[in-house]
Copies of this chain bind each other. A is one copy, B any other.
Amino acid sequence: MVRVGIIGATGYAGQQLVWYLNMHKNAEIKFMVSNSYVGQEFSEIYRNFKKFLDDKLIGVEDVESKLDEIDVLFMALPHGKSAPFVKLAMDKGIKAIDLGADFRLDSEETFKEWYKDDYKHPEFIKDAVYGLPELKRREEIKNCKIIANPGCYPTASILALAPLLENDLIEKDSIVIDAKSGVSGAGRSAKIASLYTECNESIKAYGVTTHRHTAEIEQELSKIGEENIALTFTPHLVPMNRGILSVTYSKLKKDISEKEIYDLYNKFYENEYFVRVINDLPETRFVRGTNLCDIAVRVDKRTNRVIAISAIDNLIKGAAGQAIQNMNIMFGLEENDGLDILAMNP
Residues of A at the B interface (CB closer than 8 Å) are: 12, 15-16, 19, 22-23, 46-53, 173, 176, 178, 180, 182-184, 188-192, 194-206, 208-209, 230-232, 234, 236, 238-243, 245, 247, 249, 276, 278, 280-290, 294, 298-303, 305, 307, 309, 311, 341-346
Give the nearest-CB partner of A280 in chain B: B47
- Taking a contact as CB atoms under 8 Å apart, the answer to whether B283 and A232 are in contact is no
Q: A12-B346, A180-B203, A249-B249 given as contacts; is B49 within 8 A of A278 (CB)? A: no
Docked Cα-Cα span, A189 to B19, in Å, equals 30
Q: A195-B194, A242-B346 given as contacts; is B278 within 8 A of A47 (CB)? A: yes
A-B contact pairs, 29 of them (CB 8 A): A12-B346, A22-B342, A23-B341, A47-B283, A48-B288, A49-B342, A50-B286, A189-B192, A190-B190, A196-B239, A200-B240, A201-B201, A201-B285, A202-B240, A204-B283, A208-B298, A208-B307, A208-B309, A209-B300, A209-B302, A209-B307, A230-B302, A232-B303, A232-B305, A232-B307, A236-B247, A238-B238, A238-B239, A241-B346
- Taking a contact as CB atoms under 8 Å apart, the answer to whether A203 and B249 are in contact is no
CB < 8 Å neighbour of A276 from B50, B242, B285: B50
Copies in the assembly, this chain: 4
- Taking a contact as CB atoms under 8 Å apart, the answer to whether A243 and B202 are in contact is yes
Docked Cα-Cα span, A342 to B22, in Å, equals 10
Docked Cα-Cα span, A282 to B206, in Å, equals 9
Name the distance in Å between A285's Cβ and chain B's nearest Cβ: 3
